A and B are shown apart, each in its own frame.
Chain A
Amino acid sequence: SQQGEEDPQALSIQEGENATMNCSYKTSINNLQWYRQNSGRGLVHLILIRSNEREKHSGRLRVTLDTSKKSSSLLITASRAADTASYFCATGAGGTSYGKLTFGQGTILTVHP
């Protein structure tokens, strides 16, 4: 299976609910990043968590990282219809190039008004 696999593949919730997406990976990482993609558009960086960090917050986003389980989760609180998008985790092996990332297949999130 691929490095950076998201779970679930699709998630459908009502506005105001929380959305949790999980990501698992196989090899050692330097950092893990989450990106969002609206349909047919480019990806937008949401948050980066380093391998020595366990939790990070940014606005309504909360990311956790468990390197012993090689897994991460992205929580979006109080979701809005505008959060409807695909969400990808991506792992970086380190070094100087942040862009050499391995992406998962993504979670499609649908938030119903």
Chain B
Amino acid sequence: ETGVTQTPRHLVMGMTNKKSLKCEQHLGHNAMYWYKQSAKKPLELMFVYSLEERVENNSVPSRFSPECPNSSHLFLHLHTLQPEDSALYLCASSQDRSEGDLLAGSTGELFFGEGSRLTVL
């Protein structure tokens, strides 16, 4: 148990469906992330939220829409996906630090959830 919970663990959807992935972290962290893991490709960073503000969107298509209502919850809303969007979607959290803390021996650990396996038919 990493303290980051993702639901659902498995999701099958048609290309015209609308669904959402949910992530909740119980670690008191102030940053949350969505990563995509496709077969035979490196993990790809999709979105970064720091202090509930989206600070990065890595050229992700608009059919993926993130939402971060508070520092403990992160959603990924899915709409009119394509079969190539089938992948394992991983949520993660971390405690962002000031520049000074980077020198103070903090662990810099990123905590991942178990992932949501998405299949688009």
Contact = CB atoms under 8 A, between A and B. Distances in A.
Contacts, number: 85
A31 B102 CA distance: 10
A96 interface: yes
A97 B42 contact: no
Interface residues of A, number: 29
Contact of A99 (B6, B94, B113): B94
Interface residues of B, number: 35
Interface stretch (B13-21, B48-56, B60-68, B79-87): B48-56
Contacts of B33: 99-100
Contacts of A100: 33, 45, 48, 56
Contact of A101 (B6, B31, B110, B111): B110
A96 B109 contact: no
A87 interface: no
B77 interface: no
Given A2-B42, A42-B4, A98-B97, 19 more contacts: A33-B110, A42-B112, A42-B115, A44-B2, A48-B107, A88-B42, A94-B102, A96-B50, A96-B99, A97-B31, A97-B55, A97-B94, A98-B95, A98-B109, A100-B48, A100-B56, A102-B45, A103-B42, A105-B41
Interface of B: 2, 4, 6, 31, 33, 40-43, 45, 48, 50, 55-56, 88, 90, 92-99, 102, 107-115, 117
Interface of A: 2, 4, 30-31, 33, 35, 40-45, 48, 88, 90, 92, 94-106
The 4 closest A-B CB pairs, nearest first, are: A42-B112, A103-B43, A98-B108, A45-B109
